[in-house]
Amino acid sequence: MSSNPHMSIHLHAELLPNIRQLTLYVSLPSDSYTDKDGGRLKPEISLSESRRAVTVSVEEESQTMKLPARVSESSRSSLRFPEQARSGHTGAVPDVTRMEFSFRMQVENNEMPGLKKDEFVDDLTPWTAEDMSTCAIVQCRECSTVILDSTKNNEGWTWKNLPSGNWAEMMDFWHCHKPDPHEGHDHGSHDHKQIEDPNAVLKGYGAANQISASPGIVLVDVASFLVAESDCNGLRKSQNERIPQTGNPSSRVYVECESCGATIGTEDIAANGWRLFKACIAVQRHPSSEAETYPKETIVGAQLLEMIEREGVRRFVIHYGGNDGLLIWIFNPDIRYSSVNSNHSITAQRAMKAFFQHVSDVEKILEPELGKPASMSLEELYLPMSIYEDLSSALSQSNEMLPASARNFREWKVGFLNRLDRKHT
């Protein structure tokens, strides 16, 4: 592999599991067919013995990239550059400084990385209750101030996974349609206390049953930890930022680190506790382990994946309370790709392929003018400004990583949000 920091060979590959194919993009300098003396050259491309990597060479420069999946032996025959560069060649993108080529390769029959559909949701959540220990420590992501300290809790923390986001709706349905606990009971009786199912509270379908924070217990959902305020150290309510509540003039207050002022979470009045954003904290899961974090865009991606499963939508308006925001269309929620260029050197990543636009008036999309129909297949996601900015930056950087011919789809920009892959964590 060339050690040239200004590498001119750019490679990018995407796995298309539905059609069992892999698309390889190769971007080369426009003079790749001409040597220093004006003579004729031809770039070379080859597939490794294992068929899991490709190598492209131009004169003295060479670049190798691992593919997202192993390809078939027959793919070797399709890896050929044209005899000479010309703008009319199929697959080459006319450009003043660069040429681009694309190749399609068949994936090996027994080589289909991915998860079964019923494993989709369980695999996307960072830091589940099962990942934690009773002596886990939660810290501020920015300054490492300890927020939850197991040494101050003699029995340690109890971690519990919260149900899915449509839990409340399911419970309302179950309460109205639950089996009669007293078969043969006189249904004309008005003694509601006697006919109420005594297991309603224990099983979670009681009408008054609701989630509430309790000391010593950490409730875990896709993007946050719900904790009791009394269990937290080094946090305070912020007066600088407030979360607007749709249809409600009041607002929910942010919780921030006393040491550095970073946003850590939000007050959850309904649950009588604080929600600590996973994107804003670091977790030391065991006393002998190092504190770990996840990329903020990976956690936001997990939220989007959960909403896709729950609501059945693929388009989202993401904003931080200001006028501008992001309109995102999750084109493929689970894709494998590899990319090597002057700014990135990545092998076999698991991600979501997203089409996105920057919008200047979020309210106009969420609340269209009178007479204009509102989209029924659009969900809203509010994020703190720091998380929103990291998400926007991650999408823009992934777009720049792509070859020029693959960066746009009509009016959309194309990008990736790397997602959690437990097989490699």
Q: What pLDDT does 121 receive?
A: 45
Q: What pLDDT does 207 receive?
A: 45
Please give the average per-residue pLDDT across 322-339, as a whole number: 92
Q: What pLDDT does 250 receive?
A: 45
Q: Are 359 and 340 in contact (CB under 8 A)?
A: no
| pLDDT of 366 strictly over 50 | yes
Binned at pLDDT 50, 70 and 90, residue 129 comes out as very high
Mean pLDDT, the chain, rounded, equals 81
| pLDDT of 264 strictly over 90 | yes
Please give the average per-residue pLDDT across 372-392, as a whole number: 86
Q: Are 329 and 353 in contact (CB under 8 A)?
A: no
Domains in the chain with CATH codes: 10-106 (2.60.40), 129-162+211-284 (2.170.150.10), 294-424 (no CATH)
89-97: long-range contacts, CB 8 A cutoff, minimum separation 24: 93/403, 93/404, 93/405, 95/30, 95/404, 96/30, 97/29, 97/30
Binned at pLDDT 50, 70 and 90, residue 192 comes out as very low
Please give the average per-residue pLDDT across 336-363, as a whole number: 87
Q: What pLDDT does 116 receive?
A: 43
- By C-alpha distance, which of 314, 302, 338 is closest to 15? 338
| pLDDT of 127 strictly over 80 | yes
Binned at pLDDT 50, 70 and 90, residue 193 comes out as very low
Binned at pLDDT 50, 70 and 90, residue 45 comes out as very high
Q: What is the pTM of this model?
A: 0.81
Q: What pLDDT does 91 receive?
A: 43
* More confidently predicted of 181 and 176: 176
Percent of the chain with pLDDT over 90: 52
Q: Are 63 and 56 in contact (CB under 8 A)?
A: yes
Q: Are 255 and 267 in contact (CB under 8 A)?
A: yes
* More confidently predicted of 295 and 311: 295
Percent of the chain with pLDDT over 70: 73
The answer to which of 83-87, 132-136, 214-218 has the lowest mean pLDDT is 83-87
Q: What pLDDT does 169 receive?
A: 56
| pLDDT of 120 strictly over 60 | no
Please give the average per-residue pLDDT across 71-75, as a whole number: 94
Q: Are 58 and 41 in contact (CB under 8 A)?
A: yes
| pLDDT of 259 strictly over 80 | yes
How do residues 145-179 score in pLDDT, each as one tens digit? 999 987 777 678 999 998 866 655 555 555 565 55
Binned at pLDDT 50, 70 and 90, residue 284 comes out as very high
Please give the average per-residue pLDDT across 11-19, as a whole number: 89
Q: What pLDDT does 272 receive?
A: 92
Query: Where are the strands (E) in 190-290, listed by range?
Result: 217-220, 224-227, 235-245, 248-257, 263-268, 273-277, 281-284
